[in-house]
Structure 1
Amino acid sequence: MKLNAVEICAGAGGQALGLHKAGFHHTLAVELDQNASKTLKTNSDLKNSGFSLDEVKTGDVADPGIWKPHEYKGIDLLAGGVPCPPFTIAGKQLGANDERDLFAWTVEQVATVEPRALLLENVRGLSMPRFAGYRQHVLDRLTTLGYVAEWRLIHASDFNVPQLRPRFVLVALQEKYAGYFRWPKPLLNAPTVGESLKDLMGTRGWGQIDDWVERANKIAPTIVGGSKKHGGADLGPTRAKRAWHELWVDAHGVANDVPGPKDEYSLDGRGPKLTNEMVARLQGFPDEGKWIFEGPKTSKYRQIGNAFPPPVAEAVGKAIKNALGKKGEAVARKPVEHDPIYKVLKEVGDFVKVESLQTAGDKPLEISEVELSISRLGKDFNIETFSDNGVTKYKLGSFKAFTGQDDHDRHAMFLKSRAKIS
């Protein structure tokens, strides 16, 4: 019997497909991008996809006119791949101040939807010290709602995906199920790029295919889908392009077709470009015909490149399903503390001397370390500072993130940037 799921920021369906294979049926998927929504609908209707969902809504997930969270109260799983730009290392890491940030908003919907489980994934940047306070806020909020939550950095290559692709995953379960959850164990020996793509790259009889397979005998770097703000399709920033070059792949774009018998590439220069079908396979999607991407070439690439690899979503989904079925022996789970200074400031609820914050963690902190932590917190929270006779005190104020407030700056900023958000 399949469990029911609602997924927001569903993209092209990487997470949805993986969860479907894990035993979840989507009663609703919400996605901002029109082409990605078409992709979800097309594959739901496609007989070969082995995937179906009841309804797709297109638009801003935080717009109450698009969907009403309370109508899905008690769903088995609330899932999503909320926007990554607020946290990505390659960006400005604006966090709570980024109009694309929907992480805190999604967590807040747990109070309304009351799902048995929550699954959210994002980029590795969210795991960095810069967002320790943000993460702590999320954990504490879920605790007050009766959930036990945990973050885990997962590499796609650990689940037979020929790509590194580290993702920072949050899983939260209602207390009665939390003890049964076990993170999926990594698998061994993920296929290389050459092994994975040999048949596709050699489809038209390219004479250098064996040399290429030998050169591409590694796991791929993380594929970067990019956004509407930044040009066309390519496989990533400068460092990623260098890694692709070592695999004899030209990362400066996406090809319309594979090399033919008369095509020849210098062994010292750029190799052939990948096609969207190849990129999709490196992400763990089924081959073309079993999963169709809608829209023009660049849109297809972005949908593929920004997806959560289906095999990873399937592995995590199965672990959640087992927990909801209370399989195995329950083990007490205690949330990991991410920011002790945040915890002290929140618990006190008033001004705290800097000297007191120096003993907040497991080991004494230098004043400079406390100040650095406060500086980071100040990017996502309003921090009040008070000095009296040379003694500095700090007080934790409100969270800056959008959690559903009618008067939040997010609304105007979102409308202004709407055409560039993807």
Structure 2
Amino acid sequence: MGNLEVVEICAGAGGQALGLEKAGFEHALAVELDTNACNTLRENRPSWKVVQGDVANTETWDPAAYEGVALLAGGVPCPPFTIAGKQLGATDERDLFAWAVELVQVVKPRALLLENVRGLSLPRFAGYRQHVLDRLAAFGYQASWQLLQASDFGVPQLRPRFVLVAMREADEAAHFHWPTPVERVTTVGEALGELMASGGWEGAEAWAAGADRIAPTIVGGSKKHGGADLGPTRAKRAWAELGVDALGVADAPPSAGDKPDLRPKLTTEMVARIQGWSDEFPWTFTGRKTTRYRQIGNAFPPPVAAAVGDAIMGAFNLEGPRADQRDVEYDPIYKALRESGEFIPAERLGKLAGVTDAPELERRISLLSRDFDIDIEESGRGVAYRLGTFKAFTGQAEHARHAQFEKLRSRIS
């Protein structure tokens, strides 16, 4: 098929990049904010064009220069949607998901791939997700979402990722199928046994036999917090059950002089193996230990990216049976308000959306209002609602996102 190029935004340290390369894509451009991640990308792929800066700043790169590229991909910031955070969504200055979707009308790629945390799949963001589908449909793309578990693709870790794939050509969209999970899950002991024994530790074999499950999600953290750490209290308990001391990251594997019943800490090399880097997916991380750990922990696992990349390649090649591609309506309240464009009395809105309980309708309207302006009209006949403006940053020159970004830039990662 010739060279199939990808433009990757918010590229991080290369997890998605390496996976897409394995699938057969060549990088025309990788854009990333973090200095350490850019250094890692350049160290591993000197021939790639890596640009550092705010991806939404037109001075950083020119999207129009890459019109017609095969794939536009990215792992845009997760904090706006993460379950552990405030779930500010469209009002979070770090939210670039909606902006990335709008890039499609400029770049016009054959396919779009965006990944984020599981939180984006929750009811809280039903309206947001449907808005994304609506915009892609308006640009002539057929899109679908899927929650993928990293452990289903050979990654020894509980790491759910919510993935969006959109295809421009109808025939290719009809041949897109989400990747099939591998037959067998890889355990932590299987993944790390060799590395754990590399320093001569006598307890490595017994440790590996006991680490017979997948790991909790690796937490990359951010510049707001301290050094490398394997996660919150619940995660630390899960690591302890696997025989791992999660209070920090080690400089080296256990040595021959260490006690056989030691509960070892992981090295950054071991964390990378848990995240999916391996002999099959080799990669070098630059910087000090904490910066290496953050690069690894914030990445999209390469094997998962490779599986999705292969699925997109299969669609380009029209492989496999055709399948119906239908946009899913996630939020009937959003749908009713969007299709009307006018004020809808609460009682009628509830009937249209199938929500007969008044308090539940108000709760759902409240959720929707976190990402959209909701106009409210009160009269003697009761309350009526109308869908207003989407609050997210989609490229507006005067959006509040710019001032907030500059104010917090030193802490954004």
TM-score class, shorter: over 0.9
Match of 2:307 in 1: 315
Superposed, 1:15-414 pairs within 5 Å as: 15-45=16-46, 54-176=48-170, 177-264=172-259, 271-286=263-278, 290-361=282-353, 363-414=354-405
Aligned partners of 1:185, 1:287: CA distance in 2, in Å?
22
Aligned partners of 1:150, 1:290: CA distance in 2, in Å?
31
Q: Does structure 1 retain, via aligned residues, the 8 Å contact 2:355–2:361?
A: no
Aligned partners of 2:280, 2:3: CA distance in 1, in Å?
26
Q: Does structure 2 retain, via aligned residues, the 8 Å contact 1:149–1:171?
A: yes
Aligned partners of 1:175, 1:354: CA distance in 2, in Å?
40
Gap change, CA 1:101 and 1:330, over 3 Å in 2: same
- Classify the secondary structure of the residue corresponding to 2:103: helix
- Classify the secondary structure of the residue corresponding to 2:369: helix
Aligned partners of 2:52, 2:356: CA distance in 1, in Å?
48
Aligned partners of 2:323, 2:297: CA distance in 1, in Å?
37
Aligned partners of 1:109, 1:91: CA distance in 2, in Å?
26
Deviation of 1:400 after TM superposition, in Å, equals 0.6
Q: Does structure 1 retain, via aligned residues, the 8 Å contact 2:202–2:260?
A: no
The amino acid that maps onto 1:73 is E
Deviation of 1:284 after TM superposition, in Å, equals 1.1
Q: Does structure 2 retain, via aligned residues, the 8 Å contact 1:255–1:275?
A: yes
Q: Please, what TM-score do these two structures have when normalized by structure 1? A: 0.95
Aligned partners of 1:224, 1:360: CA distance in 2, in Å?
42
Instruction: Identify which range, 53-62 or 66-75, moves more after superposition.
Output: 53-62
Aligned partners of 2:206, 2:351: CA distance in 1, in Å?
59
- Classify the secondary structure of the residue corresponding to 1:122: strand
- Classify the secondary structure of the residue corresponding to 1:379: coil
Match of 2:8 in 1: 7
Aligned partners of 2:281, 2:70: CA distance in 1, in Å?
30
Aligned partners of 1:325, 1:288: CA distance in 2, in Å?
24
Q: Deviations over 1:151-173 (max 9, x none)?
A: 10000000011111000000001
Q: Please, what TM-score do these two structures have when normalized by structure 2? A: 0.97
The amino acid that maps onto 2:387 is L
- Classify the secondary structure of the residue corresponding to 1:252: coil
Q: Deviations over 1:267-297 (max 9, x none)?
A: 7xxx211000001111111359941111111
- Classify the secondary structure of the residue corresponding to 1:75: coil
Q: Deviations over 1:349-371 (max 9, x none)?
A: 1111111222334x443222211
Instruction: Identify which range, 254-263 or 284-293, moves more after superposition.
Output: 284-293
Aligned partners of 2:184, 2:26: CA distance in 1, in Å?
30
Q: Deviations over 1:321-380 (max 9, x none)?
A: 11122223333211111111101101111111111222334x443222211111011111
Deviation of 1:251 after TM superposition, in Å, equals 1.1
Aligned partners of 1:143, 1:165: CA distance in 2, in Å?
29
Match of 1:50 in 2: none
Aligned partners of 1:161, 1:328: CA distance in 2, in Å?
26
The amino acid that maps onto 1:4 is E
Aligned partners of 1:352, 1:265: CA distance in 2, in Å?
69
Q: Does structure 1 retain, via aligned residues, the 8 Å contact 2:150–2:158?
A: yes
Match of 1:421 in 2: 412
The amino acid that maps onto 1:413 is Q
The amino acid that maps onto 2:290 is T
Aligned partners of 1:26, 1:289: CA distance in 2, in Å?
17
Instruction: Identify which range, 208-217 or 4-13, moves more after superposition.
Output: 208-217
Deviation of 1:137 after TM superposition, in Å, equals 0.5
The amino acid that maps onto 1:220 is A
Gap change, CA 1:336 and 1:142, over 3 Å in 2: same
Deviation of 1:175 after TM superposition, in Å, equals 4.0
Q: Deviations over 1:225-259 (max 9, x none)?
A: 01111211111111111111110111111110111
Match of 1:49 in 2: none
Aligned partners of 2:275, 2:91: CA distance in 1, in Å?
30
Q: Does structure 1 retain, via aligned residues, the 8 Å contact 2:250–2:267?
A: yes
Gap change, CA 1:304 and 1:287, over 3 Å in 2: farther
Instruction: Let me know the Cα RMSD of the aligned residues.
Output: 1.5
Aligned partners of 2:259, 2:346: CA distance in 1, in Å?
65
Gap change, CA 1:239 and 1:390, over 3 Å in 2: farther
Aligned partners of 1:389, 1:289: CA distance in 2, in Å?
66
Instruction: Identify which range, 272-281 or 367-376, moves more after superposition.
Output: 367-376
Gap change, CA 1:289 and 1:375, over 3 Å in 2: closer
- Classify the secondary structure of the residue corresponding to 1:334: coil
Gap change, CA 1:289 and 1:151, over 3 Å in 2: closer
Aligned partners of 1:245, 1:115: CA distance in 2, in Å?
45
Deviation of 1:390 after TM superposition, in Å, equals 4.8
The amino acid that maps onto 2:183 is L
Aligned partners of 2:255, 2:385: CA distance in 1, in Å?
66
- Classify the secondary structure of the residue corresponding to 1:197: helix
Aligned partners of 2:352, 2:294: CA distance in 1, in Å?
43
Aligned partners of 2:266, 2:6: CA distance in 1, in Å?
34
